[in-house]
Amino acid sequence: MARSVFLLAWTLWTSFVAIVLHFLLLGIGDPGMWYGRRVWWPILRRVAGMRVELEGALPAGFHGPCVVVANHQGYLDIPIVIGLLDLQLRFIFKRELFLIPFFGWYLFAAG
C-alpha cells in the first residue's frame, strides 16, 4: 500500500515538474514551435533513425494560408509535421480534448 501511494505521488510530482519545465523552456505558441523545429526535431530524427517522406510539398515562395493534413499513425506525427514545415502552424482539435485537465488548458493557450 505504501509503495502504491509513493508511486502515485512520484508520478504526479514528475508530471507536474515536466509540465512546468515545458512552459518555462518552450513557451506557448510560436517560440515553442521554433524550438521544436530547430532543436528537438533534428535530435529526435537522428536518435530514432527516422526516414520521413513528404508528398505534395508547397511550391517554392509560397506565402499564404493553407491546410496541412497528416495521416495520424503514431505519437510522433505532430513533431514530424512541425519539424518538416517551416510554417506558422495552428492545429485543430476535437472539442473533448479541451476538457482534459492541464492538457486541454495547454491546447487552449497554444492557440
Task: Write down the pTM of the prediction.
Answer: 0.48
15 falls within a domain: no
Here the cell at position 60 is 517554392
Nearest to 68 by CA among 53, 93, 85: 85
Q: Distance from first CA to last CA of the chain, Å, rounded?
A: 42
Q: Per-residue pLDDT tens for 34-69?
A: 766 777 777 777 887 877 777 776 677 777 787 777
Q: Is 57 helix (H, G, I), strand (E, B) or coil?
A: coil
1 falls within a domain: no
70 falls within a domain: yes
The count of structural domains within the chain is 1
Residues spanned by the domain of 102: 27-110
Beta strands, E only, the chain: none
16 falls within a domain: no
100 falls within a domain: yes
Q: Is 64 exposed, middle or buried (0-12, 13-18, 19+ CB in 10 A)?
A: exposed
48 falls within a domain: yes
20 falls within a domain: no
Nearest to 70 by CA among 81, 62, 57, 79: 81
41 falls within a domain: yes
Residue 13 scores a pLDDT above 80: yes
